[in-house]
């Protein structure tokens, strides 16, 4: 039993039972409860009438899936219960959602999340997930300011994701390494299964949607052509792996080593992925795992967001690979 470490015990112990860790533990426990509910719905997908489009268009001009709506409502409602969360930024909501109930008078944290990342994979039984990052507010006044919810990733106090795959996992960091927990469905608890994850030195995988090849610039095409010929540090030719769920692609590359690339192209002149809840959470985690994330010019963690749903090009994985990619951008 002593080797059985659950999430709360781990988080508090990692952070020497500081006040902040107690507050974060409360927030993360709310996220965990929401994730368990979403996980339950995801595994029931196909059995119940929760799949398929609702017919609505979200703020990103994409079709909203029912499971997205469920995930969004569940995460926001459960975060609202926490006395520590002041506001939530969600991919599914155009504006920041500020909590003004009596129990939020002294709330100091802002959570940004993508409630259901990889939603194009919902209907085909492929892994999806929830990405999140937590900031502490910087202003002291009664009213939340833009400076509170548009902070650079380097200011984050915690980041992580849930992946609803062959098992449900939580991977998180509060700045002391990256740790993975697997949901044991028999007891309903996330149990520590991957402590202090570090990227493998040899990068074996490259992940990119190559159907956009004709839309890339000449230089970047040359870079991807080279990737196919290039050998990694162990003398092996790389292999391509692309799921189309960032969270699942990231999770695989974190365990196996590799680079994920989503550049700007003619269809997505600013890139497709969103800085606050797709770029920053993974950039924070990859740094903790010994890797690097770039928008092509600079460290993703250094970028101060100008707006909630800002998009960026994203290059993330083993440091050497990402630095090499930067030279072509
Ligand atoms: P989503 O949040 O609407 O699911 O969009 C983000 C997803 C990422 O999970 C994934 O990496 C990317 O979009 C895939 O895009 P594409 O289909 O253009 O390759
Ligand atoms: Mg997403």
Residue whose CB lies within 8 A of the most ligand 1 atoms, among 165, 250, 278, 315, for a mutation test? 278
Q: Which domains does the chain have, with CATH numbers?
A: 7-196 (3.30.540.10), 205-328 (3.40.190.80)
Q: Indicate whether 103 pLDDT > 60.
A: yes
The closest-lying atom of ligand 1 relative to the alpha carbon of residue 273 is 6
Judge whether residue 235 has pLDDT over 80: no
Q: Which residues of 222-256 are buried (b: 16+ CB within 10 A; e: fewer)?
A: ebbeebeeeebeeeeebeebbbebbbbbbbbbbee
Looking at the CA of 263, name the nearest ligand.
1
Confidence (pLDDT) at 108: 95
Report the DSSP beta bridge partners of residue 98.
87
Residue of the nearest CA to atom 17 in ligand 1?
Answer: 244
Note whether 285 and 317 are within 8 A (CB).
no
Name the residue with the closest Cα to ligand 1, atom 11: 246
Distance 122 CA to ligand 1 centre (A): 12
In short, whether 118's Cβ falls inside 6 Å of ligand 1 is: yes
Cα 262 from chain centre: 15
CA of 142 to the centre of ligand 1 (A): 37
Order of strands, sheet of 97-98, starting from the edge strand that comes earlier in the sequence? 97-98, 85-90, 109-117, 128-136, 158-164, 168-173, 178-184, 189-197
User: Packing angle between helix 246-256 and helix 280-288, nearest 10 degrees?
Assistant: 10
- Asked whether the beta carbons of 256 and 204 are under 8 A apart, the reply is yes
> Does ligand 1 lie within 6 Å of residue 252's CB atom?
no
Q: What is the pLDDT of residue 161?
A: 98
How many CA atoms are closer than 13 Å to the CA of 190, on its beta-carbon side? 28
For the chain, the residue count is 329
Q: What is the pLDDT of residue 2?
A: 58
Contact 322, 295 (CB under 8 A): no
Measured CA to CA, the distance from residue 132 to residue 134 in angstroms comes to 7
Pairing outcome for strands 85-90 and 63-65? unpaired
Distance 75 CA to ligand 2 centre (A): 15
Task: Give the model's pLDDT for residue 51.
Answer: 60
Top-confidence residue, 52 or 274: 274
Q: Is 245 in the pocket of ligand 1 (CB under 6 A)?
A: yes
Measured CA to CA in angstroms, residue 314 lies from 34, 61, 282, 292, 300 at distances of: 28, 21, 10, 11, 8
CA distance 287 to 175: 9
Say how far apart CA 51 and CA 99 lie, in whole Å.
Answer: 30
Angstrom distance (rounded) from CA 138 to CA 14 = 24
Report if pTM > 0.85: yes
How far is the centre of ligand 1, averaged over its atoms, from the C-alpha of 96 (Å)?
22
What is the pLDDT at residue 45?
73
pLDDT band at 248 (very low <50, low <70, confident <90, very high): very high
Q: How far does the centroid of ligand 2 lie from the alpha carbon of residue 235, in Å?
A: 34
Indicate which atom in ligand 1 lies nearest the CA of residue 209. Answer: 19
* 118 CA distance to ligand 2 middle (Å): 6
Provide mean pLDDT across the span 3-13.
Answer: 87
Q: How far is residue 118's CA from residue 244's CA, in Å, rounded to a whole number?
A: 6
Roughly what angle, to the nearest 10 degrees, separates helices 7-14 and 19-43? 150
Strands (E), the chain: 53-57, 63-65, 85-90, 97-98, 109-117, 128-136, 158-164, 168-173, 178-184, 189-197, 205-207, 239-240, 258-262, 273-274, 292-294, 311-312, 314-317
| Rounded Cα distance, 148 and 144, in Å | 6
Q: What is the mean pLDDT of the chain?
A: 92
Phi/psi of residue 244, nearest 5 degrees: 95, 5
State residue 97 phi and psi, 5-degree precision.
-100, 110
Ligand 1 nearest atom to the CA of residue 118, by list position: 4
Residues whose CB is under 5 A from ligand 2 (ion)?
A: 114, 117
Reported as a single tens digit per residue, the pLDDT across 21-80 is 899 999 999 999 999 999 998 888 776 666 666 666 767 666 656 899 999 999 999 999
Separation of CA 139 and ligand 1 centre (Å): 33
CA distance 244 to 166: 16
Digit-coded pLDDT (tens) for 184-216: 999 999 999 999 999 999 888 999 999 999 999
Of all protein residues, whose CA lies closest to atom 5 belonging to ligand 1?
Answer: 118
Whether residue 105 has its Cβ less than 6 Å from ligand 1 = no
The residue whose C-alpha atom lies closest to atom 12 belonging to ligand 1 is 244
Nearest CA to ligand 1 atom 15: 244
Alpha helices in 257-318 (DSSP H): 280-288
Please count the CA atoms within 13 angstroms of the CA of 300 that sit on its side-chain side.
Answer: 32
pLDDT at position 216: 96
């Amino acid at each position: 039993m002593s080797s059985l470490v659950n999430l709360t015990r781990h988080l508090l112990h990692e952070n020497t039972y500081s006040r902040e860790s107690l507050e974060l533990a409360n927030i993360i426990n709310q996220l965990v409860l929401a994730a368990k509910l979403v996980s339950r719905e995801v595994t029931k997908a196909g059995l119940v009438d929760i799949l398929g489009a609702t017919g609505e268009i979200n703020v990103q001009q994409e079709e909203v899936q029912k499971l997205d709506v469920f995930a969004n409502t569940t995460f926001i409602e459960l975060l609202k219960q926490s006395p520590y969360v002041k506001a939530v930024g969600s991919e599914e909501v155009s504006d920041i959602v500020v909590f003004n109930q009596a129990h939020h008078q002294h709330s100091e944290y802002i959570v940004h999340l993508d409630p259901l990342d990889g939603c194009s994979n919902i209907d085909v039984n492929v892994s999806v997930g929830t990405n999140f990052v937590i900031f502490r507010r910087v202003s002291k006044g009664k009213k939340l300011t833009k400076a509170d919810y548009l902070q650079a990733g380097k200011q984050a106090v915690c980041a992580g994701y849930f992946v609803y795959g062959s098992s449900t996992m939580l991977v998180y960091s509060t700045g002391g390494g990256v740790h993975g927990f697997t949901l044991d469905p028999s007891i309903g608890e996330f149990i520590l299964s991957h402590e202090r994850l570090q990227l493998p030195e040899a990068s074996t995988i490259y992940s990119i949607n190559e159907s956009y090849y004709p839309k890339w610039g000449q230089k970047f095409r040359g870079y991807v052509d080279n990737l196919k010929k290039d050998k990694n540090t162990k003398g092996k030719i790389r292999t391509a792996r692309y799921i189309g769920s960032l969270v699942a692609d990231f999770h695989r590359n974190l365990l196996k080593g590799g680079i994920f690339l989503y550049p700007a192209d003619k269809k997505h002149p600013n890139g497709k992925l969103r800085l606050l809840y797709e770029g920053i959470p993974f950039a924070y985690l990859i740094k903790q795992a010994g890797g690097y994330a770039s928008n092509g010019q600079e460290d993703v963690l250094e970028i101060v967001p100008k707006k909630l749903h800002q998009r960026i090009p994203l290059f993330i994985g083993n440091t050497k690979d990402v630095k090499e990619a930067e030279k072509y951008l």
